[in-house]
Amino acid sequence: MKITTLFKRFDRGAATALSPLPTSARLPFLLALLLVSLLALAGRAAELAATPAGPDFGNMSLDQLMNYPVTSPTKHEGKLSETPAAIEVITQEDIRRSGVTSIPEALRMAPGLEVAKVDAHTWAISSRGFNDVFANKLLVLQDGRSVYTPLFSGVFWDVQDTLLEDIDRIEVIRGPGAALWGANAVNGVINIITKKASDTQGLLIAGGAGTEERGFGGFRYGGKVGENLYFRLYGKYFDRDDSVFANGASAADAWHMGREGFRMDWEASAENLVTLQGDFYSGTANQIFTNATPSPTPPFIEAVRDQIELTGGNVLGRWSHNFSADSEAKLQLYYDRTSRDTAIFKETRDTFDLDSQHRFPLGDRNDVSWGAGYRLAADRVGSSFTIALNPDHRTTQLLSTFVQDEITLVRDRLRLTLGSKFEHNDFTGFEIQPSGRLSWIPTERQTVWASVSRAVRTPSRAEDDIRLVQLTPNPVVFGSIQGSRSFESEKLTAYELGYRLRPHSRVSLDLALFYNAYDDLRSIEPGGIVPGPPGLGTVPATLANKLHGETYGAEFAPSWQATDWWRLQAAYTYLQMQLHRDPGSGDTTSESNERRSPRHQFSLRSVMDLPYRVQFDWGVRYVDSLPAINVASYVTMDARLGWRPTQNLELSLVGQNLLANRHAEFRPSSITTQATEVERSVYGRITLRF
């Protein structure tokens, strides 16, 4: 019997067991079942507490987590507990124990992020509102390499990947990071940081299969050349099943991808580290475009079945030099190529980026960082009747510099951070993005912080040059959206207040409040109907900056180390969005985008180390409804059972989205693809380490 068939039978069995219960009763039933099982396991664990059960699986205490080193908020290492920003760190242990198989799934563990699966390979991810497949206010980096695309100022999440075991941590900043990272770091920054080659020595082999994960596998080998040169090589492959429609029928959007990469770290001396790394990928994602219109002739509306070809690669080099414990310099250069070939649009993009930074103390109370960068991006596109860019190739340049000063006002108690990014881009010219942050540490267990920041989201290639055609039947009318070379940057002024508290060594509380005021947001300004052939007409519209608005909310993340072997982590997010048209705007649709992001989100994770090297972890998530795109609220649960019989072997069984056969999380927007739903899934995994 094939392993995928076995897991599908297991999945059907779980569904059958829950089917007698009404939907409203399934969550209380499962939570009660979990509570009973946890109490039983707790009693059993207490009996065996004195029995040696092998080494711990690597969980850190809350004190260790609060002192975890982070780099994204300041571009140099600092303590998580003292950082004057709303930041969450997703560690390698979090990733492993959650059972996730992709980076977007891992991001669900960060409070304040909106992570929604659209179909088998498409995600909508944002921070503090404005979520969409083409969300454009979140900057994403991997090892310092920007993965956002100037095509629409967003991220193609289907090609952001690496061997998950090689990720050291993911630092998630909610709120502006533009003073350091520049334009498009408006509502947040995600920095995916992989391990040094010296931390990945030896051989790792992992693989598995299940109902949705039809098959996946990966390997990594790390070694050492000479005294100070470490390297690793990795490769991975996955094959994922189709998503489904609301009626359970297949959506024909399965996909598969292979990826390989390397990293070398040369410790040339105690002060110098040289890194060279690269990744290469190739894959195919199936998709059906439901209203692709290859020509303005009957039948006008035509579904196009497509196989999207995805290829790309990058090479990055970095030199780091430490002058002293509090003074360092870095120089980084990378080249990145991406290619996407679809039935309605094609793009190949080459990016060259050079970045430098220097940190040094100035007197006893000032810690100064500064740097400069240059980026060149060149694209070539292939257009269709549905989507076209004019011209079909364009090269843009970005020049930037930043300066930041961390000023100690009261030693070990009060610190003020002032800084700004200065940029020149080919769309709007010169942009300034300042920030001020204050951090007060009244006691060793408390941190209060506040900030005021300005950030901009510069225009994308699409907003300058696009022609997007959409069609409505009965009567047949073409809607045509045109870009504008007069499109300006979207602007944000953000106010934040945060409080971190450890009232007990086993309890931590993290609260962040925010108020964001936006101006010059993108609007779609309609024109009059332009007559066409008999029975046809075109409604032209132009992109403009005639929308403004505000968002405000709270993010609360408590953690409780109930025992040495059991931790509970919760998160609650409240978001309120209000969008308004400027005087003279004729946009009648964009204001509804305020309900494309959930107003309430809640999650609870349980992480347990049991005797005999057994782990039992589960998580429950609630996501509020999205009225603007007709998505209902939902509750779902994931669970993982892991067993490490030896130090080199780990077996795990993972269930995802366990509370219903399927549920919708998001709907397509500008480019109409199918409205699909996320299915319940089960998979098994084997990991070998040598």
Residue 562 has what pLDDT? 94
Whole-number Å distance between alpha carbons of 77 and 97:
26
> With contact defined as beta carbons under 8 Å apart, do 522 and 545 qualify?
yes
In sequence order, the β-bridge partners of residue 449 are: 439, 498
Whole-number Å distance between alpha carbons of 178 and 423:
10
Residue 436 has what pLDDT? 96
SS3 for 111?
A: coil
Q: How far is CA 298 from the centre of its chain?
A: 41
E strand residue ranges, 474-565: 477-482, 490-504, 507-526, 530-531, 537-556, 559-563
Count CB atoms within 10 A of the CB of residue 237. 16
Whether omega before 55 lies within 30 degrees of 0, making that bond cis, reads no
Res. 40 pLDDT band, cuts 50 70 90: very low
Residue 329 has what pLDDT? 96
Query: Which strand (E) or helix (H) includes residue 585?
Result: none
Residue 49 has what pLDDT? 42
Q: How far is CA 327 from CA 5, 366, 425, in A?
A: 57, 12, 30
Q: What is the mean pLDDT of residues 618-638?
A: 96
Residue 470 has what pLDDT? 74
Instruction: Kindly report the pTM of this predicted structure.
Output: 0.90
Residue 537 has what pLDDT? 58
> With contact defined as beta carbons under 8 Å apart, do 490 and 550 qualify?
no
CA-based end-to-end distance of the chain:
30
Count CB atoms within 10 A of the CB of residue 37. 12
Whole-number Å distance between alpha carbons of 74 and 311:
33
Whether omega before 540 lies within 30 degrees of 0, making that bond cis, reads no
**Which residues fall within 8 angstroms of residue 410, CB to CB, at 6 or more apart?**
none
Q: What is the mean pLDDT of residues 288-298?
A: 63
Answer whether residue 56 shows pLDDT above 70.
Answer: no
Whole-number Å distance between alpha carbons of 542 and 527:
8
Residue where the block lists tokens 């690669």: 313
Residue 357 has what pLDDT? 95
What are the phi and psi torsion angles at 179 (to 5°)?
Answer: -65, -25
Answer whether residue 261 shows pLDDT above 90.
Answer: yes
Residue 23 has what pLDDT? 40
Please write the tens of the pLDDT for every residue from 530-559. 555 555 556 788 999 999 999 999 999 999
Answer whether residue 46 shows pLDDT above 50.
Answer: no
What are the phi and psi torsion angles at 23 (to 5°)?
Answer: -55, -40
Whole-number Å distance between alpha carbons of 289 and 343:
9
Answer whether residue 31 shows pLDDT above 80.
Answer: no
Residue 59 has what pLDDT? 60
Q: How far is CA 606 from the centre of its chain?
A: 22
Whole-number Å distance between alpha carbons of 54 and 49:
12
Give rounded-to-5 percent helix, strand, coil for the chain: 15, 55, 30
Whole-number Å distance between alpha carbons of 234 and 166:
9
Q: Both tokens of residue 571?
A: 């998160």
Residue 81 backbone zone (phi > 0: left; psi -120 to 50: alpha; other: beta): alpha
Q: Both tokens of residue 670?
A: 């500008």
Strands of the sheet containing 145-146, edge to edge, are 86-91, 167-174, 188-194, 138-142, 145-146
Higher pLDDT, 673 or 601: 601
Answer whether residue 496 shows pLDDT above 60.
Answer: yes
Answer whether residue 11 shows pLDDT above 50.
Answer: no
Looking at the domain covering 3-689, what would its CATH class be?
Answer: mainly beta
Res. 3 pLDDT band, cuts 50 70 90: very low
The torsion defined by the Cα of 459, 461, 462 and 465, in degrees rounded to 10, comes to: 110
> For the chain, what's the residue count?
690
Answer whether residue 149 shows pLDDT above 60.
Answer: yes
Answer whether residue 22 shows pLDDT above 60.
Answer: no
Residue 52 has what pLDDT? 39
Q: Are strands 366-382 and 387-389 parallel, antiparallel or unpaired?
A: unpaired
CA-based Rg of the chain, rounded to a whole angstrom? 25
Whole-number Å distance between alpha carbons of 191 and 185:
11
Answer whether residue 473 shows pLDDT above 70.
Answer: no
Q: What is the mean pLDDT of residues 101-119?
A: 95
Q: How far is CA 454 from CA 106, 141, 514, in A?
A: 29, 20, 13
Q: What is the mean pLDDT of residues 342-349?
A: 93
> With contact defined as beta carbons under 8 Å apart, do 646 and 614 qualify?
no
> With contact defined as beta carbons under 8 Å apart, do 284 and 255 qualify?
yes
Domain coordinates of the chain in residue numbers? 3-689
Res. 60 pLDDT band, cuts 50 70 90: low
SS3 for 157?
A: helix
Q: How far is CA 348 from the centre of its chain?
A: 23
Count CB atoms within 10 A of the CB of residue 49. 12
Whole-number Å distance between alpha carbons of 609 and 614:
6
Q: How far is CA 411 from CA 83, 365, 406, in A?
A: 15, 8, 12
With CA atoms as reference, report the closest residue to 181 among 313, 355, 440, 333: 355
23, with CB counted inside 10 A (0-12, 13-18, 19+), is exposed
At position 621, the amino acid (one-letter code) is R
Whole-number Å distance between alpha carbons of 562 and 63:
14
Q: Are strands 188-194 and 138-142 parallel, antiparallel or unpaired?
A: parallel
Residue where the block lists tokens 């990272």: 181
Q: Are strands 537-556 and 477-482 parallel, antiparallel or unpaired?
A: parallel
> With contact defined as beta carbons under 8 Å apart, do 616 and 641 qualify?
yes
Q: How far is CA 349 from CA 133, 352, 589, in A?
A: 20, 10, 32
Answer whether residue 443 shows pLDDT above 70.
Answer: yes
Sign of the dihedral through C-alpha 314, 76, 68, 555:
negative
Residue where the block lists tokens 């497509």: 306
